[in-house]
Chain A
Amino acid sequence: MTTHTKRLTRRVLPALAVVGAMTLTACGGGDSGGDGSDGGDVTLRVAWWGSDERQRITEEAIAKFEEQNEGIKIQPEYSTFDAYYDQLTTQVASNDAPDVFAVEIRRLGELARGGVMADLDGLVGTDDLNQELLESGAIDGVQYGIPTGANAFAVMANTKVFEDAGIDLPDDTSWTWEDYMELSAELTDTTDSGLYGTQISNNDAFLKIFAAQRGEAFYGEGELAVSEETVTDWFAYQLEQIDEGATPDGPRSVEIGENVETSLVATNTGAMGMWWTNQLGTLTAGSGEEVELLRMPSDAGAQTGGMFLQPTMFWTVSGNSAKQEAAGKLVDFLVNDPEAGAIMGSDRGLPMNSSVLDSIRDGLPEADVKSLAFIDDISDETDVPPTALPGGAGEIPNLLKRYSEEVYFERMTPQEAAAAFITEANSVLS
């Protein structure tokens, strides 16, 4: 027993010491690089979400920035979209927010009103930016966010599937919701089994356009402005699409979800779908076929097409940051510098700085050229970009999805779902 203990001591204690040391370093490791100011340099923490491709090009642009601005070092903190806000809000709550971070319009209002962000007036040059879009980043007259670029929500059509079915692309200047449904059902019928005319979209942008065509706004002050009747009709339209065979059946539709890479158009198993224009590249690359942009259908008596340009996301600067000047410089570089524009293209939406756009126009990939032409095309018809949304708007997509599913599986009628959706949404919004 004694020798055993000795052996134990000799062998185990160093091991324990190592474990202990590791535990301690793990505890202390969290804030490494927090200020990291070696030799007077400023280190900026920059956070965004997105794909590997976005990470690659953003880092490339950042490297350019570091080259031009000696003394400023950038420390990227990227993650997937799913994990992004978890991390960001936790950091915000513990006063450890990144100096520069990206947010979408759905969360901008909430975070800005929570006093999380800095006023960017004077920190970022905005003269060449699209002023209408810029307005989206202002709340109560304070410029909290600078749009990274613009997007429109539109129908995308896989030309190969149309061709194989022997059906022509529709005339998107005049088509109605009825046409869209009939065409989709016809495509499902004429093509092989396993191919569908379209897929369900629960995107709130779809409902926003649907409502705008009836002269209704989606959001009001801290609540929904859309009427129960419109939401009822929208849910009913979704259900009818399933019933008519325009889309896959309910369970399949749920499984397909909103993922762009695995969508029907991207996998050549569907003819149409609705997405943001900056997703055209992904759809084209996924399918390997020509994908065309089409206007959203409308109602016969609609007052407007309802389509709108929306900032894809915003760059914002932390209100707590001690390095706001350097942070502003970085944001300025990302939105105003032609070199940055050339590197990042339309990944975060088409650049909204006119001179950047002009300088990169020729070098854009084909999908971007198409998006740009499309946005030019519809520019006379689009509504004004939305202003910052009420707090809690980030939860609306999940609510829409949930109540849509209640409708697909006939657990609720469209009317019941619409009433419940509006009640719950208004309790969430502020």
Chain B
Amino acid sequence: MTDIQERPPQADAEKPQPAAAGRPPGGVGREHTLQIRKRRRKEALIAHLFLAPWFVGLIAITSIPLLASLYLSFTDYHLIQDWGWVGFENYRTMFTEDPRFLKALSNTTIYVVVSVPLQLAFALALALILDRGVRGLPIYRSIYYLPSLLGSSVAIAILWRKVFGADGLFNEFLGFFGYEGTSWVGDPSTALGTLVVLNVWTFGSPMVIFLAGLRQIPPSYYEAASIDGAGKMRQFWSITLPLLTPIIFFNLVLQLIGAFQSFTQAYVVSGGNGSPADSTLFYTMYVYQKGFNSFQMGYASAMAWVLVLIIAVLTAVNFMMSKYWVFYSDK
């Protein structure tokens, strides 16, 4: 990531370098270093002050509960009843005796595997179109970004339920082609699909990052390529795509993590219970049900930690694989 943000590459060459420019050695220099050090310390202090609110939050609101939940995952902590240490029992139950856990895991995996690549492809395609110097780019950018801001909100999920409902907009649209649909959110074979579409629709944030990435590719590459007779497609495959791989990688990692954790959309669209017939029971929703409907917080904690592990392993694999397809131009 960083290499891209620090460009354009000419910058280094043009930057004047006064520090090295013939300063006499001795007292003045040392005083100068002291001053720099003082300033550095001050800057560090400011930086820490800036970080302080976040840091307080990290410890009080994130770290302590995080560690507590790790401990609780080895107990049968129940919100109301007595509880005690059970070792790995929760983890064992999950994989051997809980079909709904496996169902939730498979639902979520399907959702991630289908929606993330689609969403990224969509984002990239639109970024490419917008990068062509469309007039009013900032407006388009904002408009396309909007769904990303709204996508995980309750209001949009309610809207979605209406759009894909029996008397919704989508069926109205299909009606023009003579197709009479029933409720898309009420049918277990299509309900998950509506959630995938909802996630793809929130392509705005990867799109904005793609746009920034496209802006970082020096135009001179394209000029050279077209002089050599390369067509648009050739340029895309040989220049744009390779130089964009770090960005694609970045988006992929972020969206994968985000998609595994998605909750609100499924919760609202399904009415909070993974309906119909558990077809939209997402992992996080099952964690929630276990914790807050069954009050089995120990089990819910264990599930949450399994999710952490899944995401960690997946991200690690992602980073390892990146060696083979991500191209950093400065290496």
B294 and A392 contact, CB distance less than 8 A: yes
> In the complex the two chains form, is A5's CB within 8 Å of B42's CB?
yes
> Do A405 and B188 contact each other (CB < 8 Å), given the known contacts A16-B52, A398-B293?
yes
| B166-A19 in contact (CB<8A) | no
Complex CA gap A388/B275 in Å reads 28
Contact A252 B166 (CB under 8 A): yes
- CB neighbours (8 Å) of B165 from chain A are 255
- Are B187 and A251 interface neighbours, CB within 8 A? yes
Interface-located stretch among A82-90, A231-239, A351-359, A364-372 = A82-90
A401 at interface (Cβ–Cβ under 8 A)? yes
Which of A109-117, A166-174, A324-332 interfaces with chain B? Answer: A109-117
Interface range on chain B (Cβ under 8 Å from partner): 35 or more
Question: In the docked arrangement, what's the CA distance between A398 and B189, Å?
Answer: 20
Q: Which residues of B sit under 8 angstroms from A249, Cβ to Cβ? A: 182
**Judging by beta carbons under 8 Å apart, are A409 and B80 in contact?**
no
The answer to whether A411 and B277 have CB atoms under 8 Å apart is yes
Q: Are A5 and B183 in contact (CB under 8 A)?
A: no
Residues of B within 8 A of A386 (CB): none
Collect the chain A residues with CB atoms within 8 Å of residue B53's CB.
16, 19-20, 23
- Interface residue ranges of A1-53 to B (CB < 8 Å): 2, 5, 8-9, 12-13, 16, 19-20, 23, 27
Tell whether, in the assembled complex, residue A116 and residue B186 are in contact, meaning their CB atoms are under 8 Å apart.
no
* In the complex, B43 has a CB within 8 A of chain A: yes
Cα–Cα distance between A249 and B39 once the two chains are bound (Å):
73
Q: Chain A nearest CB: distance from B176 CB in Å?
A: 19
A252–B80 Cα gap in the complex (Å)?
37
CA distance A400 to B81 in the complex (A): 24
Chain B residues contacting A401 (CB-CB under 8 Å) are: 273, 275
Q: Is B50 an interface residue, CB under 8 A from the partner? A: yes
Q: How far is the CB of A149 from chain B (nearest CB, A)?
A: 26
Within the assembled complex, what's the spacing in Å between the Cα atoms of A8 and B189?
57
Q: Contact at A13–B49, with CB atoms within 8 Å?
A: yes
Taking CB atoms, residues of chain B closer than 8 Å to A254 are 183, 185-187, 275-276
Query: Does any Cβ of A come within 8 Å of B46's Cβ?
Result: yes
Residues of chain A within 8 A (CB-CB) of B57 are 23
* Residues in chain B within 8 A of chain A (CB atoms): 39, 42-43, 46, 49-50, 52-53, 56-57, 60, 79-81, 161, 165-166, 182-189, 271-278, 289, 292-295, 297
Which A residues have a C-beta under 8 Å from some C-beta of B?
Answer: 2, 5, 8-9, 12-13, 16, 19-20, 23, 27, 82, 85-86, 89-90, 92-93, 110-111, 114, 116, 248-255, 257, 391-392, 394-395, 398, 401-402, 405-406, 408-409, 411, 428
